[in-house]
Amino acid sequence: MDQVIKQQSEAEHWSAEQILDWTRRQFGARGTLASSFGAEDVVLIDLASRIGSPFPIFTLDTSFLFPETYALISQIERKYAVQVERLSAELTADGQAQQFGEALWQRQPDQCCKIRKIEPLKQRLQSAAAWITGIRREQSPTRAQARKIEWDTSFGLVKINPLADWSNAQVWAYIRSNQIPYNPLHDLSYPSIGCTHCTRPVQAGEEARAGRWSGFSKTECGLHLDAAAIAKGGE
């Protein structure tokens, strides 16, 4: 905690590469890169590869990801010679339906996210000292105050957000100039891609995360909310 407070202000002036290099030096393989394989996440994987980072990469495989997402994971593994750790919920999709009823995401999306995302993440982060995410401040109001280095009170470790101050235009300029594989759904008005049941294309004028959990007052699954918000159900 003290280390985070000491570096937090200075880190705001660092580039994404400098943030990742600091994380590598401080935490080594105990710094882990969380990836949903959105545009920001493939940028982070490419940046990490350029500094020769030891960061293990994991993704939350909810069993409900788009086919395009699964295909991209395999493509990234081949390109960067990495193996992505796929985290799954203790309950299978069928087991969840038997215990909670069919289509839980339509009735209680917070409960579904807790089972399929938050609980597996909690288990994984118990063995980590820091986790690296692709969140950016301009993505949504809930992310507007994100710092490049911060203490994650929900999971009890350092949270690293190297792209916090990047714009959407910067993300895509980097992807295109470096020819990084990305999810083709981004070209079909899906700026934020999650599970098939809870993601739709956004309309002109909508925020980037408006297509997530459409019809609910919910734009976050709970991974990037503080402990108080998670206790209330991730709203």
Q: How far apart are the first and last CA of the chain?
A: 27
Q: Is 221 annotated as catalytic?
A: yes
Round the CA-based radius of gyration of the chain to a whole number and report it. 17
Q: How many CB atoms lie within 10 A of CB 71?
A: 14
Which residues are CB-contacts of 87 (< 8 A; sequence separation ≥ 6)? 58, 59, 60, 61, 120, 121, 123, 124
Q: In terms of C-beta density within 10 A (0-12 exposed, 13-18 middle, 19 or more buried), how is residue 102 classed?
A: exposed
The structure tokens listed for 5 are 């407070």
Cα of 70 vs its chain's centroid, Å:
15
Distance CA 96, CA 89 (A): 10
Q: Which residues are catalytic?
A: 221
